Amino acid sequence: MQYMLLIYSEPSPADAPPPSAEEMQAWFDYTDAMKDADVFVAGDPLHGIETATTVRVRDGQAVSTDGPFAETKEVLGGYYIVDTEDIDGALHWAERCPGAQWGSIEVRPMMAMAELAP
Partner 1 sequence: MTGPDAGAPDRAVADRLAEVVRDEHGRVLSVLIRELRDFDLAEDALADAVAEALPAWTRDGIPDRPGGWLLTVARRRGIDRMRRADAARRAVAKLDLPGVEPAAEDVIVVEPESAVVDERLRLMFTCCHPALSVEAQIALTLRTIAGLTAGEIARAFLVSEAAMERRLGRARAKIRDANIPYRIPPDHQLPDRLGAVLHVIELVFNEGYLPAIGDALVHDALCEEAIRLARVLLELVPDEAEAMGLLALLEVQHARRRTRVDATGALVTLEHQDRARWDHAAIAAGATTVETALRRGTPGRYQLQAAIAALHGTAATWGDTDWPQIAALYGELLRLRPTPVVALNRAVAVAMAQGPEAGLALLAELDDALAGYHLLHATRGELSLRAGRAADAVAAFDRALESVTNETERAHLVRRRAEAANA
**Where does this chain bind partner 1 (CB under 8 A)?**
1, 85-88, 91, 107, 109, 118
Kindly tell me which of 9 and 84 has the beta carbon lying closer to partner 1.
Answer: 84
Rounded least distance, CB 36 to partner 1, Å: 19
Kindly tell me which of 39 and 75 has the beta carbon lying closer to partner 1.
Answer: 39
Kindly tell me which of 46 and 87 has the beta carbon lying closer to partner 1.
Answer: 87
- The rounded distance, in Å, linking the Cα atoms of 13 and 108 is 28
Rounded least distance, CB 88 to partner 1, Å: 6
